[in-house]
């Protein structure tokens, strides 16, 4: 994948959607990342220029125990 400085509106929406789905998944598991920034977003490239974004570096993440307790009661 070639580096681009500007994304089309459609590409930007695609990237944002992938990142929001990743955060939604983490939050559904009561995980708070706490260091969400561009350098912690990785790209996995597949054939035919298909790629997905992945969130990495969970060194500062934590489990939201209060949220888990509220959900259980």
Active site residues: 35
From residue 11, how far is each of 18, 52, 57 by CA, in Å?
11, 12, 24
- Read off the tokens for 62: 């934590």
CA dist., res. 36 & res. 43, Å (int): 15
């Amino acid at each position: 994948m070639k580096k681009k400085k500007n994304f089309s509106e459609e590409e930007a929406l695609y990237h944002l959607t992938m990142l929001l789905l990743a955060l939604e998944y983490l939050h559904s598991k009561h995980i708070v990342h706490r260091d969400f920034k561009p350098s912690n977003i990785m790209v996995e490239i597949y054939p035919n220029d298909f790629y997905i974004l992945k969130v990495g570096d969970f060194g500062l993440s934590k489990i939201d125990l209060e949220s888990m307790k509220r959900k259980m009661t």
